[in-house]
């Protein structure tokens, strides 16, 4: 019933799953905002790793570049520019949180059992070699969509500069 093939892909999937879940739990558990952003970046890296396991290397690259890089840096930049008071005190754990954890573990057990009992159809074997998705996306992006791509980059740059100017006015 519960037979596992302990291949490298299975171990990598398990490790990345633990990284994603623990990062998400730490994200909502930390009291300091900077620690939350670092946990969120760990989740983004774990999701990019899952994309690599799914042979979606372009999505993995975009995940790391945009989310783990740009969004995390932008969030830390915004945190550093705002005035906030950190208490740094961890709140005590309550019975409600314990019941929530027990409920989450029960849901995990039910889902695990249901997935293991299901009969999933075998995927059809791939015919020929897999196409290079990244090259096709890059060629389409830099041939037919150059102008919209550059306009979006200019728009994002203007929005970023506007945010800096607004934050600077509030600081003065």
Mean pLDDT of 128-143: 75
Q: What is residue 93's predicted lDDT score, i.e. its pLDDT?
A: 67
Indicate the pLDDT class of residue 128, thresholds 50, 70 and 90.
low
Return the higher-pLDDT residue of 37 and 89. Answer: 37
Measured CA to CA, the distance from residue 12 to residue 49 in angstroms comes to 9
Mean pLDDT of 25-33: 85
Indicate the pLDDT class of residue 171, thresholds 50, 70 and 90.
low
Mean pLDDT of 117-127: 76
Nearest in space to 52 (alpha carbons), one of 162, 134, 147:
134
List b or e across 34-71, with b for residues whose CB sees 16 or more CB atoms inside 10 angstroms. Answer: eebbbbbbbbbbbbbbbbbeeebeebbeebbeebbeee
Q: Is the pLDDT of residue 49 over 90?
A: yes
Task: Please state the pTM of the whole predicted model.
Answer: 0.60
Return the higher-pLDDT residue of 4 and 48. Answer: 48
Q: C-alpha angle 162/163/164, rounded to 5°? A: 90
pLDDT tens-digit readout, 64-108: 888 887 787 777 777 777 766 655 565 666 887 888 889 989 998
**Mean of the per-residue pLDDT values for the chain?**
81
Return the higher-pLDDT residue of 46 and 153. Answer: 46
Q: Is the pLDDT of residue 141 over 90?
A: no
């Amino acid at each position: 019933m519960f037979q596992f093939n302990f291949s490298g892909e299975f171990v990598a999937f398990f490790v990345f799953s633990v990284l994603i879940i623990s990062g998400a739990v730490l994200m909502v558990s930390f009291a300091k905002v900077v620690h939350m952003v670092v946990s969120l970046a760990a989740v983004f890296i774990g999701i990019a790793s899952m994309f690599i396991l799914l042979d979606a290397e372009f999505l993995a690259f975009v995940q790391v570049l945009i989310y783990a890089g740009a969004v995390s840096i932008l969030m830390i930049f915004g945190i550093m520019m705002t005035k906030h008071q950190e208490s740094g005190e961890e709140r005590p754990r309550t019975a409600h949180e314990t019941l929530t954890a027990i409920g989450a573990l029960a849901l995990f057990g039910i889902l695990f059992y249901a997935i293991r009992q299901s009969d999933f159809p075998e995927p059809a074997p791939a015919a020929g070699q897999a196409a290079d998705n990244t090259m096709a996306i890059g060629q389409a992006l830099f041939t037919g969509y150059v102008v919209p791509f550059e306009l979006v980059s200019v728009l994002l740059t203007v929005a970023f500069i506007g945010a800096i100017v607004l934050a600077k006015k509030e600081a003065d």
